[in-house]
């Protein structure tokens, strides 16, 4: 049983739901060495999330963003934590709802995702920078 762990960087993106499967896999070639195992990825931020969803139709990503923007609104009068702008507290709430980690099976050197599944970076900030992810692989 082997363990690998490394920090990877996702390029800066604007607000929205972004398909990042290839960007993540491209930075962890160790996946190719694993016949059976798991990839665990954890984003090291409180204003962004990771999730699995539709990898084909970009309308899904737009609909997800619109849903969360309507559900968790900016500029609510009851928010106390607004030190970084109107998107600050809503970003933390959205991150808590969706989550910050994923665990994905690895089979024969590839992520064992469904046909239409991809990894999303859910970016909630209007002006975000790079995003850091810890990738941990366990397998044989």
The pTM for the full model equals 0.95
Q: First-to-last CA distance in the chain?
A: 5
- Domains of the chain, first to last: 2-139 (2.60.120.460)
Instruction: Name 51's bridge partners.
Output: 120
Task: Enumerate residues 6+ apart whose C-beta is below 8 A from 35.
Answer: 107, 108, 109, 139, 140
- What pLDDT digit, counting tens, does each position of 9-21 carry? 999 999 999 999 9
pLDDT of residue 4: 97
* Sequence-ordered list of residues with C-beta below 8 angstroms from that of 110, at least 6 positions apart, any chain: 31, 32
């Amino acid at each position: 049983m082997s363990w690998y762990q490394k920090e990877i960087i996702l390029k800066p993106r604007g607000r929205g739901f972004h398909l990042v499967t290839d960007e993540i896999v491209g930075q962890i070639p160790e996946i190719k060495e694993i016949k059976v195992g798991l990839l665990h990825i954890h984003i090291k931020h409180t204003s962004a999330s990771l999730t699995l969803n539709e990898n084909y139709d970009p309308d899904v990503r737009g609909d997800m963003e619109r849903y969360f923007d309507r559900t968790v609104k900016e500029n609510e009068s009851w928010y106390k934590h607004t030190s970084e702008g109107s998107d600050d507290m809503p970003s933390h709430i959205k991150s808590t709802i969706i989550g910050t980690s994923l665990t994905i099976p690895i089979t024969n050197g590839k992520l064992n995702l469904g046909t239409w599944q991809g990894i999303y970076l859910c970016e909630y900030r209007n002006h975000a920078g790079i995003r850091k992810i810890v990738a941990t692989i366990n397998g044989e």
